[in-house]
Amino acid sequence: MIQIKSEAEIALMRRAGVLVGETLELLRAAVTPGVSTAELDAIAEANIRAAGGVPSFLGYHGFPATICASVDDEIVHGIPGPRVLQEGDVVSLDCGAILEGYHGDAAITVAVGAVSQQVKELMRVTEESMWRGFAAARLGGRVSDISHAVEAYIRSQGDWGIVEEYGGHGIGTEMHQDPHVLNYGRPGRGPKLQKGLALAIEPMVTLGSPRTRLLPDNWTVVTAEGGWAAHFEHTFTITERGPWVLTALDGGAAKLAELGVTAGTG
């Protein structure tokens, strides 16, 4: 079911979104060679709870942690634990929080120390494709306008793998709602983009084949052939003024301005 939120509800989603965005900035600052993914998880849980929030991933279908930490060839849903990050790794950190009943969901991929130029480019293309998705979202447009913009940007940048088995989603009083938002496809399809709709956009891009495999822990999704992956995500809504990125601390203003798009506000 697609949930349309009132302005007051979107204002609550903004509060949840800022909490998620601030938590991810704490995590970004804590990523360094020698830190374990369990330590990052503890930082996130403490920050969310200190603000009166609830970590939404913890207990979700039995998931045992506050964040997903996916390293190198892990794409998404990695379980934090004793693994220590090494110089040259990349780690995707996905974080969700509930505040006053509303969800925020966002992810960043962070380099651990110095990484190769190819991995830097992988991260850049993935993040930029997400912003192209927001920039393509217009009131009265369709969900697949976003999908198309994400794919078109990635394809324009070279030979990258686009993960097809996972994608973005509606979000509100639950973390995962309709509609599903593919990271590829033709524009002009799917539900209408309307005021009060909130979506998480989350491209996952790989070096080499984008085919995936599930590890025996039944959570961690890795690339089938071992190529490294990047994953970025933000939760956003569309206002009359423009897209409002609820989990970006500036609402998306700076990145959208680079693309010639005015960001929305509450």
Name the residue among 130, 104, 133, 138 with its Cα closest to residue 242.
138
Given the complex with Mg ion, which of 200 and 238 has the nearer CB atom? 200
Place of tokens 């995707």: 92
Distance in Å, CB of 202 to Mg ion, minimum? 5
Distance in Å, CB of 159 to Mg ion, minimum? 26
Instruction: Work out whether the CA dihedral 62, 11, 124, 24 comes out positive or negative.
Output: negative
* Choices 48-56, 144-152, 178-186, 193-201 (CB under 5 A): range interacting with Mg ion: 193-201
Given the complex with Mg ion, which of 103 and 148 has the nearer CB atom? 103
Distance in Å, CB of 166 to Mg ion, minimum? 9
Given the complex with Mg ion, which of 41 and 208 has the nearer CB atom? 41
Given the complex with Mg ion, which of 41 and 94 has the nearer CB atom? 94
* Choices 114-122, 130-138, 184-192, 194-202 (CB under 5 A): range interacting with Mg ion: 194-202
Question: Which backbone phi and psi does 217 adopt, to 5 degrees?
Answer: -70, -5
Distance between CA atoms of 27 and 22, rounded to whole angstroms? Answer: 9
Site for Mg ion in 208-247 (CB under 5 A): 233
Distance in Å, CB of 92 to Mg ion, minimum? 9
Place of tokens 């004793």: 82
Site for Mg ion in 118-177 (CB under 5 A): none
Given the complex with Mg ion, which of 73 and 233 has the nearer CB atom? 233
Q: Are 183 and 203 in contact (CB under 8 A)?
A: yes
Q: If binding means CB under 5 A, how many residues of this protein chain bind Mg ion? A: 5
Instruction: Count other Cβ atoms within 10 Å, centred on residue 120.
Output: 14
Site for Mg ion in 89-128 (CB under 5 A): 94, 105, 107
Name the residue among 98, 82, 102 with its Cα closest to residue 35.
82
Q: Does 204 bind Mg ion (CB under 5 A)?
A: no
Given the complex with Mg ion, which of 7 and 178 has the nearer CB atom? 178
Q: Are 71 and 37 in contact (CB under 8 A)?
A: yes
Out of 200, 205, 229, 246, point to the residue binding Mg ion (CB under 5 A): 200
Distance in Å, CB of 94 to Mg ion, minimum? 4
For 63-124, list the strands marked E by DSSP. Answer: 67-71, 74-76, 90-99, 102-111
For 72-206, list the strands marked E by DSSP. Answer: 74-76, 90-99, 102-111, 161-162, 168-170, 177-181, 198-201, 204-206
Distance in Å, CB of 258 to Mg ion, minimum? 24
Given the complex with Mg ion, which of 13 and 226 has the nearer CB atom? 13
Question: Which backbone phi and psi does 80 adopt, to 5 degrees?
Answer: -60, 150
Binding residues (CB under 5 A) for Mg ion: these are 94, 105, 107, 200, 233
